[in-house]
Amino acid sequence: MSRYRRGSAVLLLLAVVLGGCATLQQLAALRSVSFAIDSIVGGKLAGVDLSNVGTATDLGTLDAARVAASVAGGNLPLEFVVNVSAENPADNSTAAEMVRLEWTLLLDDRETIAGIIDDRVLLPPGEPQIIPVAVQLDLMEFFAGAAPELLGLALRFAGAESEAAEVKLRAVPTVNTPLGTIDYPATITIVSGTPTP
């Protein structure tokens, strides 16, 4: 082998090794990132704003009629935004770059809809980032009941007095590395108030 080819091979090997080390650092950085549901905002049920509704009695006559008419029509669209907090610990020496988040929404531990966020999110050490996950589903597709019962469920999931612990995301983050994108090694469950490493 010529000196030139031998030198090129050494450089290529060195690049792979260094790239591999950088990849391991990126994976380690992502592994130490904690995820938690920070807040749930923007709740709407059949177009009715739930932000100032604590119980069914707080609904005005027109809004109550709109929800009842939607249930009578066989569908009850619910939408809200789950704000996920992602925090790379301050003592972590490497920033993590998440490029994708596959998620499945669980309501009362019942699997509902799934989606993908393709936005790049840089996670510098010690700087929590909020990742908004917009959710839209037909509540009647997954839960049965009369209008008052379904309204109560919607308020728990997305209203001002919602019990955020009833809302979970099962997720697989993907990190960017010098050797390409790599999925998180295991599915994580993101819940309210309890960071999930």
What does the pLDDT look like over 51-96, one tens digit per residue?
888 777 788 889 889 999 999 999 999 999 999 999 888 887 777 7
- The pLDDT assigned to 165 comes to 56
Indicate left, alpha or beta for 54 from its phi (over 0: left) and psi (-120 to 50: alpha): alpha
| Domain membership flag for residue 132 | yes
Q: In this predicted model, which residue has the larger pLDDT, 151 or 195?
A: 151
| Domain membership flag for residue 12 | no
- The pLDDT assigned to 140 comes to 95
| Domain membership flag for residue 21 | no
Q: How far is CA 122 from the centre of its chain?
A: 15
- The pLDDT assigned to 11 comes to 32
State the average pLDDT over residues 118-139: 93
Q: In this predicted model, which residue has the larger pLDDT, 48 or 162?
A: 48
| Domain membership flag for residue 53 | yes
> Which CATH number does the domain housing residue 183 bear?
2.60.40
Q: Which of 124-128, 158-162, 176-180 has the lowest mean pLDDT?
A: 158-162
Instruction: Give the chain's domain count.
Output: 1
Residue 103 has pLDDT above 50, yes or no: yes
- The pLDDT assigned to 23 comes to 52
Residue 190 has pLDDT above 80, yes or no: yes
Residue 21 has pLDDT above 70, yes or no: no
β-partners of residue 86 are: 35, 129
| Domain membership flag for residue 4 | no
- The pLDDT assigned to 130 comes to 95
> Quick one: three-class SS letters along 22-59?
HHHHHHHHHHCCEEEEEEEEEEEECCEECCCCCCHHHC
- The pLDDT assigned to 131 comes to 95
| Domain membership flag for residue 28 | no
pLDDT tens digits along 108-128: 999 999 999 999 999 888 899
Q: pTM score, two decimals?
A: 0.79
- The pLDDT assigned to 114 comes to 98
| Domain membership flag for residue 5 | no
**Numbers of helices and strands, H then E, in the chain:** 4, 10
Measured CA to CA, the distance from residue 65 to residue 61 in angstroms comes to 6
| Domain membership flag for residue 196 | no
Measured CA to CA, the distance from residue 96 to residue 32 in angstroms comes to 9
Instruction: Give the residue numbers spanning the domain of 79.
Output: 34-190
